[in-house]
Structure 1
Amino acid sequence: MKQEDLFQELKSLGLPVAYGQFTSTLKNPAPPPPFITYQFSYSNDLIADNQNYVGIENFQIELYTVKKEPVTEKLVQDKFKELRLTFSKVEAWLDDEKLFQIIYEIQLIGE
């Protein structure tokens, strides 16, 4: 799976999705929560014979909600399971924004 595929799969959840952040303008304001952002975190390639043998890209997918939404979290997690993507999960309350942030870390393994 490539980054473009990840974007399309996240969009299929029916939530607004952006790479990195939403750009808000007067004509196109940022969407209200719940929404998803995602971005590349780091690579962890498999190296053999002095070369990057298999590309492994780590992505951070962030779900933002106004209140705790187990149903929405399950929707995201079920999508990862459907795509056979293992994930780790961390939750934080962002006091300044008054939002819950659920951070999922996944790996996309190159072809």
Structure 2
Amino acid sequence: MTRENVPTMLKEMSLSFAYDHYAEGEAVNPPFLVYRYPRADNFAADGVAYFKQDVFHLELYTDIKDPEIEARVEAVLDKYNFFYEKSETWISTEKMYEVLYEMEV
């Protein structure tokens, strides 16, 4: 999976998605996805980036805890052979859950 293929994969999840954030006035109601590449996790050899790899965050936002939507997202990640770490937080100011899937591409 490459960065260029990520939007194609996200479409299979049947949820609205945006890179990094939704522009002001374009926000959608939950559930929705946001994705970003917050840093690189490159492997160095002989003083150069021998193997380049980006950390990929996929954030699922819902207004209620929804295991079925999480399962749908995870099924697509599994289909594309992603190994991911999963965490969850309640954002009280937004009254939404954020489920974070962290992986490398």
Give the equivalent residue in structure 1 for 2:14. Answer: 14
1:24 and 2:21 aligned: no
| Equivalent in the alignment of 1:79 | 76
Structure 1 residues not aligned, in runs of 5+: none
Secondary structure at 2:34 match in 1: strand
Tell me the secondary structure at the aligned position of residue 106 of structure 1: strand
- Which stretch of the first structure deviates more once superposed, 42-51 or 58-67? 42-51
- Counterpart Cα distance in 1 of 2:22 and 2:11: 14
Deviation at 1:11, TM superposition (A): 1.8
**1:106 alignment partner in structure 2:** 103
Residue 24 of structure 1 and its aligned partner are, at CA, apart by 3.2
C-alpha RMSD over aligned residues: 1.0
Residues 12-60 of structure 1: CA deviation (Å, up to 9, x unaligned) = 21100100001133xxx31100000010121111111211111110011
Inter-partner Cα distance in structure 2 for 1:58 and 1:7: 16
The alignment-based identity, stated in percent, is 30
Task: Provide runs of 4+ in structure 1 moved above 6 Å.
Answer: none
Question: What is the one-letter code of the residue matched to 2:72?
Answer: L
- Mark the runs of 5 or more structure 2 residues left unpaired by the alignment: none
Letter matched to residue 95 of structure 2: K
Secondary structure, in 3 states, of the residue corresponding to 1:62?
strand
| Residue 7 of structure 1: how far off its partner (Å) | 1.8
Q: Which moved more, 1:60-69 or 1:43-52?
A: 43-52
State the partner residue of 1:35.
32
Matched, 1:46 2:43: yes
Distance in 2 (alpha carbons) for counterparts of 1:104 and 1:86: 9
State the number of aligned residues: 105
Deviation at 1:4, TM superposition (A): 2.2
One-letter amino acid matched to 1:15: L
Match of 1:5 in 2: 5
> Is 1:96 aligned with 2:87?
no
